[in-house]
Structure 1
Amino acid sequence: MAESTEAAEVSAEPTTSPRRGPLIAVAAVLATVTNAVAFMLPPLLPLMQAQFRLGVSASTWIFTALTLGGGAGFVVIPRLADVLNDRITCLLSGGCLTVGALIPAVGDSYPTLLVGSVLLGFGGAAQLLPLGFLRRHLSGGAVATAVSVLIMATGSGTVLGMVGGGLTVKTLSLSAFFYILAAAFAATTVALLVVVPASRPESHERIGVLGAVSMIGWVTAVLLALTQGQIWGNAALYLLVGGVVAGVVWAVVQRRAKHAVFDLTVLKERFVTPACFAAGLFGAIDAAFLVLVSYYTQTPKAAGYGLGVDALGTGLLMLPFALMMFVGGKAAERAVHKGHAASVLVVGAGVSVLGLGWLAFAHQQAWQYLVGAALVGAGSRVGYSGAFAVPQLVVPEHKAGMAAGIPGTVMAIGFAFGSALISGLLTVATVPQVGVPEPYLYTDGFLITCGLAVLVLVVTGVSRLRHRGEHLVFAQEAQEA
């Protein structure tokens, strides 16, 4: 009770009232550029391998470093916005991104590329910051606006990254690419400092150092096992089991901790747990979808299948995925506000099932990917709207960062899982003398990914049965009561 009163007093401090348009615009830019980073690197892999003379094992560590940095960032950065303030956190994360791009630009070596990837991954978690500062500094439907900006920017950032990476391979050197990236991050950071208002911390709560470090530890173990599973074999399995067990122990300890990293009691609210679980599953769906599309479309026709396009061509085929991120979100968020969170998750998963089911049996022609990408993009848009809106609606403003961090961390784990799952599947059988995956594996891959969407339906249905007749209590309603 004392913490709630204290937080309310802090939130009551007067702050500069920002203009709505510039604040939304800079939030969209931040979320777009941070999402683009993860999808710019895959098209650059051949260039990195050639320039630094890397083998397959060494090149996978670039993405592992990016993923591990992101895992730590999703734990720390959203909570820093709660206990420091939005402006300082934007500066810290922007600094990580800028330095993370400058290190490989200046060093131009494999070790500096690994260090830069860790910092880029850590700073990339700033994509969740708009959920907090838009909610805190906008009035009237702030949660819906924040979720819409985040998800639309995610879609545009995905395709911007793929197209940008493809263009870079054609026109720029690796060093020039990172210099441009550093300049973009520096400009975004300056814009954030100009537009995001200076304010007092939203909460005087502290982050338990031991809890934060231990969470980063088990999240890192899980992500490392997923990204290195094909290379490490049984050792990765042991690491995964150890990480999961450590995560369970961490959750038990955090429930009793005085200064918890995440307030896990929020998971007891109706539909919060299935919403966070859905965030992870939609992350896995999108990752699996992107891997399948990238591999198939870039397979040379000489292999007997594939479209033979380059990374830029794949990015263009993914445009409907990004465009559909701009459609349907407002309706989904209004439905969540009216207490229909389960219906939103069901619709999102159902549309994803249609898109993935279509691609399972229709992925031989370019136009078929345009249809499938549109359906998967629409399903993800609606699903993410529910997954990120529900935790925001049941917590007060001073915990907005925490409410973004929980589904964000689960989504990061889900993304790594989906990528590892399909990457492993595509190595099961290869075309003799060519070395590319057997074509039937793509059908299997789309069906397995479709199964992940079905799992969202199952989890949501079970939760609906368990909480039949109960009302989702929003934070505003609780305060008024």
Structure 2
Amino acid sequence: MTEIHQPAGLGDRAASRRAPHKGALIGLGAILVVLTNAVVFVLPPLLPIIQAQYHLATVAETTWLYSALTLGGGAGFILLPRLADVHGDRNASVAASAFLTVGALVPAVGDSYPTVLVGCAVMGFGGAAQLLPLGFLRRNLGESGISVGVAVLVIATGVGIVVGMIGGGFIVENLSLRSFFVILTAACAVTTFATYVTIPHTPPAERTRRIGVLGTVWMIGWVAAILLTLTQGLVWGGAALLPLAVGVIGGIAWVRVERRSSSAVFDVAMMKAPLVTASCVCIGLFAAANSAFLLLLSTYAQITPSSLRAADAYGLGLSELDTALLMAPFAAAFLVRGAVLDRALLKGRGVSVFVTGALICAAGLVWLAVAHDQVWHYLVGAAVMGLGCRIGYSAGFTLVQMAVPEEKAGMAAGAAGTFMAVGFTLGAALVSGDLSASLVPMPGTGLEVAAKGLYGIGYWLSAVLALLIVATALISRARSVRQAETTAP
């Protein structure tokens, strides 16, 4: 297992800290994670309202809002955690919360499609605030900081997803769009003030204060190109191959240059540490399976059978709010204590933990592939999926944090978070493509929905993603064994 480093200057930095209130820091970290995840998952139920209110001609215009949120998040995940390392946890957290506030304020004041589009991009960037607790909890809570930070991130993520979906359903049924953005602005403003008051102002964790500007901008560019392809690929068709090629080629070139850079965005030594790269890939695959599951569930549940021809009929006919409540077991599974998991990771059993989480996810997805036409089917599947994802996310973020010294906690969080962002977008793109393969009409509306059989295919494809996690973990362990045998005297 990788040793947790104690960097030079740690004692001086600890001495300069005022004693933080542990409960307040943990509570603030949970709020940041819940709020940022809720913002992401509150948007999908609002897209039809946005299209109708702003008289958008096509669904493509509406989905650009989600693309803007995703692209902003990709940039934020790369930059904000690193800023916490070199400019201090409080400064980075206040900045991230301020971006969330401004992003909500713009559409609250403007109340138009362009302002909502700008607001989504700004809120997406501030959404990287969900990764910052990994750094400030680790740097302020001592030896327990890593396990507490990961637990806060994982548990609050599950809660935030469900809160966002319930919030979206509540807004659809009870509030206007503008009222929602006003309330969100107030909530983000209070959070900004709380971060300033709660997080201790300490010297930067990394005293060099160096961020590779070119490498960072370059990475934001190629990651954004890939995310753009994943979010707009179905709309653009063959034209989407151009940004995909730019992203892939740019990424390969970036990796080659970063290996020789003295101010790399992500430390090459960190990525070469045992299981780190594999952990990031596994986080991305867990996120892809998670995203695919959420999209499949929410789409199927809200189709009303009576709105389709008898031969095509399917769905549960649930409202947005009822669909969100269907996800409650998913969030509840994230609350399961991780003491056994933590002990396994400390004993160097990371691969076994990944395999366990992935197989649990695969079991939940296979279950839903063959049984997804009753409410109780989803309640069971959501609980199983939640448990598997809880195990996988906890293992991934813990192992990446354990591979770096404390002053690079933000860098480690950013690396893992970037893979997670790409994974969520990949899962959504995979399911969107699947559900667009065969459409059936809704008589009298001029609308079309996915054919019933595509949902089973979507769950099988998602189960393959889970099995890829198993393959990734086992391949990484085999490579580590070979390297150890090669270097042994």
- Tell me, yes or no, whether TM beats 0.5: yes
TM-score range, shorter chain: over 0.9
Query: 1-side partners of 2:268 and 2:411: how far apart?
Result: 10
Residue deviations 1:250-279, cap 9 Å, x none? 111111112111112211111111100001
Partner letter of residue 407 of structure 2? H
What's the counterpart of residue 391 of structure 2? 382
TM-score, normalised to structure 1's length? 0.95
Q: Does residue 446 of structure 1 match 2:446?
A: no
What's the counterpart of residue 36 of structure 2? 34
Query: 1-side partners of 2:21 and 2:404: how far apart?
Result: 25
Query: 2-side partners of 1:48 and 1:269: how far apart?
Result: 46
2:7–2:405 Cα contact (<8 Å) kept: no
Residue deviations 1:132-182, cap 9 Å, x none? 000000023211110000000000000000000100111111111001001
Partner letter of residue 25 of structure 2? L
Counterparts of residues 330-369 of structure 1 (less than 5 Å): 330-369=339-378
Q: Does residue 278 of structure 1 match 2:282?
A: yes
What's the counterpart of residue 170 of structure 1? 173
Q: CA deviation at 1:47?
A: 1.1
Equivalent of residue 160 in structure 2, options 136, 157, 160? 157
Counterparts of residues 54-453 of structure 1 (less than 5 Å): 54=56, 55-205=58-208, 206-302=210-306, 303=308, 304-432=313-441, 434=443, 435-453=448-466
Q: Matched residue of 1:260: which SS?
A: coil
What's the counterpart of residue 476 of structure 1? none
Partner letter of residue 212 of structure 1? T
Q: CA deviation at 1:102?
A: 0.4
Query: 2-side partners of 1:334 and 1:181: how far apart?
Result: 39
Residue deviations 1:110-134, cap 9 Å, x none? 0000100000000001100000000
Query: 1-side partners of 2:438 and 2:9: how far apart?
Result: 57
Query: 1-side partners of 2:15 and 2:259: how far apart?
Result: 30
Q: CA deviation at 1:244?
A: 1.2
1:77–1:89 Cα contact (<8 Å) kept: yes
What's the counterpart of residue 478 of structure 1? none
2:7–2:407 Cα contact (<8 Å) kept: no
1:328–1:381 Cα contact (<8 Å) kept: no
Query: 2-side partners of 1:416 and 1:149: how far apart?
Result: 23
TM-score, normalised to structure 2's length? 0.93
Query: 1-side partners of 2:14 and 2:391: how far apart?
Result: 33
1:341–1:390 Cα contact (<8 Å) kept: yes
Query: 2-side partners of 1:305 and 1:330: how far apart?
Result: 42
Q: CA deviation at 1:8?
A: 4.1
Q: Matched residue of 2:438: which SS?
A: coil
Query: 2-side partners of 1:241 and 1:373: how far apart?
Result: 36
What's the counterpart of residue 475 of structure 1? none
Residues paired across the two proteins, number: 468
Q: Matched residue of 1:307: which SS?
A: coil
Residue deviations 1:26-81, cap 9 Å, x none? 11011100110000011111111111011201101000000000000001000000
Q: CA deviation at 1:470?
A: 8.0
Q: Matched residue of 2:263: which SS?
A: coil
Aligned in 2, Cα 1:469/1:243: closer, same or farther, shift over 3 Å?
closer
- Answer with 460-469 or 64-73: which moved more: 460-469
Aligned in 2, Cα 1:261/1:10: closer, same or farther, shift over 3 Å?
farther
Aligned in 2, Cα 1:419/1:250: closer, same or farther, shift over 3 Å?
same
What's the counterpart of residue 466 of structure 1? 479
Query: 1-side partners of 2:433 and 2:50: how far apart?
Result: 22
Query: 2-side partners of 1:284 and 1:468: how far apart?
Result: 28
Residue deviations 1:346-402, cap 9 Å, x none? 111011011001000110000110000000000000000111001100111000000
Q: CA deviation at 1:299?
A: 0.7
Q: CA deviation at 1:92?
A: 0.6
Query: 2-side partners of 1:382 and 1:469: how far apart?
Result: 27
Residue deviations 1:218-250, cap 9 Å, x none? 011000010000011112122112201111111
Query: 1-side partners of 2:91 and 2:267: how far apart?
Result: 22
Q: CA deviation at 1:440?
A: 0.7
What's the counterpart of residue 487 of structure 2? none
What's the counterpart of residue 3 of structure 2? none
Q: Matched residue of 1:193: which SS?
A: helix
2:89–2:132 Cα contact (<8 Å) kept: yes
Q: Matched residue of 1:431: which SS?
A: strand
Unmatched runs of 5 consecutive residues or more in structure 2: 1-5, 485-489
Partner letter of residue 467 of structure 1? S
Aligned in 2, Cα 1:432/1:95: closer, same or farther, shift over 3 Å?
closer
Q: CA deviation at 1:11?
A: 3.3
Q: Matched residue of 2:16: which SS?
A: coil
